[in-house]
Amino acid sequence: MSKFTQEATTMIELLGGKDNIAAATHCVTRLRFVLADTSIANVGAIEELPSVKGTFTQAGQFQVIIGNDVDVFYNELTNIAGIEGTTKESVKQQAKQHQNALQRAMSNLAEVFAPIIPAIVAGGMILGFRNILEGVKMFTEAGGFSLVEGTLTIANVSVFWNGVNHFLWILGEAIFHFLPVGITWAVTRKMGTSQILGIVLGITLVSPQLLNAYAVAGTAAADIPVWDFGFAQIQMIGYQAQVIPAMLAGFSLSYLERFFKKIIPNVIQMIFVPLLSLLISVIVAHTVLGPIGWVIGKWISDVVFAGLTSSLNVLFAGIFGFLYAPLVITGLHHMTNAIDLQLIHDYGTTLLWPMIAFSNIAQGSAVLGIWWLHRKSNPDESQVSIPSLISCYLGVTEPAMFGINLKYSFPFLAAMIGSAVAAVLSVGVGLAANSIGVGGLPGFLAFNFEKWWVFALIALVAMVIPFVLTVFLGQRKEAK
């Protein structure tokens, strides 16, 4: 008998019995269930179990936060219930049966971007570090250190750091300029089709033979290279850092592969399915989908940029900052990744991402307020609150939101208010990020050096307001 035997037995009963568990798996800290009937589960009683740090429902999955011992708990629960565990992908597919059309669409979008987000975040950190090396003038001609009178950067005065700066660009270029390769791979991975074909398709969108996407605007139409077929010409334009053209191309490849697998006999599928799928998708990508995706992406970025720079930009920012955390609950927030990347491609910076970073910080600060309120009355809660707020400050909000803030409601509202104020200040002063980075306190690396103090001040606002509001509202609630 393990230490979780009794709790696991009780949890099965509170979930509605083993017959109500359609699928079960776990991640690093959470149990993930798909329930046949979610209304049967006694959520309140489950959250009272000693090992449970919180619960939430997302994307059709009922998730229970356990902590580092989740694998031990999971094994005990599945053994007692006599059920077989399933993969996370299987659970996702079964969970979609409980989603509406919009939720399924957002889940699909999330599944495309989720695998490439680590690379994007790493790339943002690398570009931020390179910004320090080549963009911060901190040395004088005489060799002294001065952030005021400096005219030389670290890369200017150090052969070693200049070499590091150039070396790191290999990673930055691979992640952002060749982003379409990652996107087309992620699409085929999500669609269950040939991932290597997705990679090849992505490479054809960023081939060195093509005119780099960043050079298109400055190149006269007559000077753009073309494939000349006599009866028709196709412009040889690359799609470096482009999101929507890559997504459209990736989905076209996947659907073509599925189509040809249905109509081509098994004996020759190995030859003709990949050949026809790849050839047609590349042609369509460069003649139809690429140009259309380019235009759509430009429209989206223009609309968002106009909203962020118009006379109503402060109102736009306030609404976005206030509603971003609820968007995380629905999964709709994943669309901002594509918008941010498009803004960076079209304008070189993004005003949208800083607001996301401040929203994350605000959620963490609301958790800090709960910890302060309950540090004496409920010290056991610190096992959830402290790791959650650290996670928030480092850019991951779900443990804080679902484990603490939504549980008490008022901290979530306090964080939304703090996020809205920070967003208004951020857009009001034109705080723009050079890339997507870590959406929390380390996010300062995504900005030029002269903007660091602005980021720090607004981050302080995003910390103080939710903390103060949470403590104030909590004290009033406890006084009643």
Q: DSSP assignment of 104-116, as one string?
A: HHHHHHHHHHGGG
Instruction: Tell whether 209 and 291 lie within a shared domain.
Output: yes
Distance CA 418, CA 461 (A): 7
The pLDDT, as a whole number, for residue 424 is 95
Instruction: Tell whether 222 and 161 lie within a shared domain.
Output: no
Backbone angles phi, psi at 144, to 5 degrees: -85, 165
**Listed residues 97, 120, 141: the one ending a domain:** 97
Q: How many CB atoms lie within 10 A of CB 418?
A: 29
Q: What is the CATH number of the domain that holds 88?
A: 3.30.1360.60
Q: At what angle do helices 352-374 and 410-428 cross, to 10 degrees?
A: 150
Instruction: Tell whether 361 and 445 lie within a shared domain.
Output: yes
The pair of three-digit structure tokens given for residue 208, joined into one six-digit string: 């060195």
Residue 215 belongs to some domain of the structure: yes
The pair of three-digit structure tokens given for residue 178, joined into one six-digit string: 């060749």
Residue 240 belongs to some domain of the structure: yes
Residue of 236, 235, 244, 246 lying closest to 201 (CA atoms): 246
Q: Which amino acid is at 234?
A: I
Instruction: Tell whether 323 and 272 lie within a shared domain.
Output: no
Residue 346 belongs to some domain of the structure: yes
For residue 391, give Cα distances in angstroms to 368, 380, 386, 410, 463: 12, 18, 9, 20, 14
Sign of CA dihedral 325, 331, 334, 336: negative
Q: Is 225 exposed, middle or buried (0-12, 13-18, 19+ CB in 10 A)?
A: middle
Residue corresponding to tokens 């992640």:
175
The pLDDT, as a whole number, for residue 103 is 57
97, 164 contact by CB (below 8 A): no
The pLDDT, as a whole number, for residue 87 is 46
State yes or no: is 27 an active-site residue: yes
Instruction: Tell whether 431 and 447 lie within a shared domain.
Output: yes
The pLDDT, as a whole number, for residue 91 is 47
Residue 305 belongs to some domain of the structure: no
The pair of three-digit structure tokens given for residue 254, joined into one six-digit string: 């996947």
Instruction: Tell whether 456 and 324 lie within a shared domain.
Output: yes
Query: H or E stretch including 448?
Result: none
Please tell me the chain's helix, strand, coil percentages from 3-state DSSP, rounded to the nearest 5. 70, 5, 25
Residue of 82, 84, 76, 85 lying closest to 26 (CA atoms): 85
Q: What is the pLDDT along the chain (480 residues), one digit of tens a residue?
A: 678 889 999 999 999 998 888 888 887 677 888 888 888 889 889 988 888 877 877 667 788 888 767 888 988 888 888 876 554 455 455 545 555 565 566 566 666 777 787 787 788 778 778 878 887 788 888 778 877 677 888 898 899 999 999 999 999 888 888 989 999 999 998 888 999 999 999 999 999 999 988 788 778 888 899 999 988 899 999 998 888 899 999 999 999 999 999 999 999 999 999 999 999 999 999 999 999 988 888 887 888 888 888 888 899 999 989 988 887 765 556 667 778 888 887 888 889 989 999 999 999 999 999 999 988 887 777 777 888 788 788 877 767 887 788 878 899 999 999 999 999 999 999 999 888 777 788 888 888 888 899 999 999 999 999 999 999 998 887 766
Distance CA 138, CA 148 (A): 8
Residue 326 belongs to some domain of the structure: yes
Instruction: Tell whether 271 and 288 lie within a shared domain.
Output: yes
In angstroms, how far is the first alpha carbon of the chain from the final one? Answer: 44
**Listed residues 280, 300, 320: the one ending a domain:** 300
The pLDDT, as a whole number, for residue 19 is 87
Domain residues for the domain of 46 are 5-97
Read off the pTM. Answer: 0.69
Distance CA 389, CA 285 (A): 44
Instruction: Tell whether 314 and 442 lie within a shared domain.
Output: yes
Total structural domains within the chain: 4
The pair of three-digit structure tokens given for residue 291, joined into one six-digit string: 């140009």
User: Between β-strands 30-35 and 61-65, what pairing exists: parallel, antiparallel or unpaired?
Assistant: antiparallel
Instruction: Tell whether 419 and 333 lie within a shared domain.
Output: yes
Distance CA 244, CA 294 (A): 7
Instruction: Tell whether 147 and 167 lie within a shared domain.
Output: yes
Radius of gyration of the chain (CA): 25
The pair of three-digit structure tokens given for residue 398, joined into one six-digit string: 């779900």
Distance CA 319, CA 420 (A): 7
Instruction: Tell whether 331 and 295 lie within a shared domain.
Output: no
Distance CA 127, CA 117 (A): 15
Instruction: Tell whether 77 and 110 lie within a shared domain.
Output: no
Q: How many CB atoms lie within 10 A of CB 291?
A: 15
Mark out the alpha helices in 335-409 (DSSP H runs).
Answer: 335-347, 352-374, 382-393, 398-400, 406-408
Q: Which amino acid is at 228?
A: D
Q: Which residue in the list 3, 5, 27, 146 is annotated as catalytic?
A: 27
Residue 334 belongs to some domain of the structure: yes
Residues 6+ apart with CB under 8 A from 3: none
**Listed residues 300, 335, 351: the one ending a domain:** 300
Chain CA centroid to CA 208, Å: 29
Residue 13 belongs to some domain of the structure: yes
Q: Which amino acid is at 337?
A: N
